[in-house]
Structure formats: C-alpha cells, structure tokens
Amino acid sequence: MMQNTVLSLRGVTKRFGGLVAVNAMDFNVTEGEVMGLIGPNGSGKSTTLNLISGALPATAGAISLRGTDITTMAAKDITRRGISRTFQLVRLLPSMDVLENVMAGAVFGHKRHWGAEARTYAMGLIDRVGLGGKAHARVGQLTYIDTKRVELARTLASDPKLLLLDEWLAGLNPTELETGIDLIKSLRDEGRTIILVEHVMDAIRSLCDTCVVMSSGTKIAEGPPAAVLTDPEVIRAYLGDDDDA
C-alpha cells in the first residue's frame, strides 16, 4: 500500500440474502483527495459508505484505514480511528441547540474535547461552516441548509482523517447549492480527505479529483471526472433514470 493511502477497499462485498448490493469493490483514497462515488439510484453508493463507516458489516473483502484493517470494527471504534460521516437524511439531536449538537461530535469523536475546551472548539466550527450567531438556536428553527451546516460542523468536530459526505448537497436550491459547493471546496483546500456521494454533476466536476462509478453494486469506471462522465458505459448506466441525469 502506498504510504499516502488513507483508505483501501479490496474485494468488498455486501449481500442481503440473495441480493448483492456491493460486489467486489476495489479502490484507494489518497491523502488530501476528494473522491466522488457516483452512479444511478440503487447502485450501492450509500451501502458502500455504510460498510466503510461500520454501520453495516461486510460479507467479504477487506477495508483498511491507513494500513489498519477496520473491516470488522464496530462503528464507534471506526469513528474513533478517524472516519466521520453525514447522512442522506440530516440526523440532529432535536432537543439540543446548535452548540450542543456540535459539542456532541467534539466529545465522542476521534479527537475528544471536554468542558470549556469542547465549547470553544465547537464555537469555532460553528463559525467555520457559516452559522455564526446561531449557536444557541434550536435546530428545529433552522433552515434546511443550516441543519446541514450543523451536521457538517458536528462531523468535523471529531477532526476526521476521512470525511464521508452522503448526498450532503441534495435538496438545496441553486443559491444554497453554490454556497454548499463553496463550503466543501474550502474543506478540500484545507487538505481534507473526502469521499463524496453525489448526484449533482456540477459539484462532482468542480470538487472531485477522481470518481468511482457504480452500477448495480459493481464498479464500472474509475478516473478523473472529465473522463468517467463521458465514458459510454457510464452514460448507459444513467440512461432512463431521470433523477440522475
């Protein structure tokens, strides 16, 4: 394995009974890279993130983080080793305010902070994602993009080695989408390593160094966005699915 490889998947497979949701996936993610994981709905992208984060156990294959096998680790242990994620549906703690939600990531993540230190650290992240002045707002009072900002700040609070963004840009209006892309760009420019599951092709083109394309659980293409998005097999995989066109 190359020294700057953060994540490696080798033959990773997930079966649900007779359904093969992910079939012998192989790819590497290198330090500071933004990798796009794309494909039609139902192609296995989110399942792949669930396998990486430990939310689901792999049926076969191996997943390693900086050379350490994490294939059979519990999700909480994988988080503590430096993988954090967002979800397709934003998952916040509704009884808590913005600050408390972000502090939860600081307390339970890869690099733990406690007490006043956690509070100061969380306040910095709230500003970092553009929520300055809303630290004490209840999450139920926030706009949709602001709930996504809270989730992102909470994810960053663990200081992840690898950030998994599962359709973080989904559901945003054009102005919000531009803001969201700029925010992810700023994370990329900090040198963060990111896997981005996304259907917004403008975001894939502007953010990603490489792309892995999945169809029916199988990798069908890998390479720079400009190359894979013009690959005839990738185009065929998307045809007929209006949501992904």
pLDDT of residue 111: 64
**Under 8 Å between Cβ of 135 and 99:** yes
DSSP character string of 155-217 = HHTT--SEEEEESTTTT--HHHHHHHHHHHHHHHHTT--EEEE-S-HHHHHHH-SEEEEEETT
What pTM was estimated for this model as a whole?
0.91
pLDDT of residue 165: 97
**Under 8 Å between Cβ of 111 and 75:** no
Cα distances from 63 to residues 25, 27, 93, 102, in angstroms, run 10, 10, 30, 28
Q: 3-state SS of the chain: helix, strand, coil percent to 5? A: 40, 25, 35
For residue 42, the SS3 value is: coil
pLDDT in single tens digits along all 245 residues of the chain: 455 999 999 999 999 999 999 999 999 999 999 999 999 999 999 999 999 999 999 999 999 999 999 999 999 999 889 999 999 889 898 889 999 999 988 877 656 677 788 889 999 999 999 999 999 999 988 999 999 999 999 999 988 889 999 999 999 999 999 999 999 999 999 999 999 999 999 999 999 999 999 999 999 999 999 999 999 999 998 874 444 43
Q: What is the CATH number of domain 1-82+161-245?
A: 3.40.50.300
pLDDT of residue 66: 94
Strand pairing partners for 162? 83
pLDDT of residue 180: 94
Tokens of 20: 């093969």
Strand pairing partners for 219? 214
* Closest alpha carbon to 39 in 207, 226, 204: 204
Name the residue ranges covered by the structural domains of the chain: 1-82+161-245, 92-160
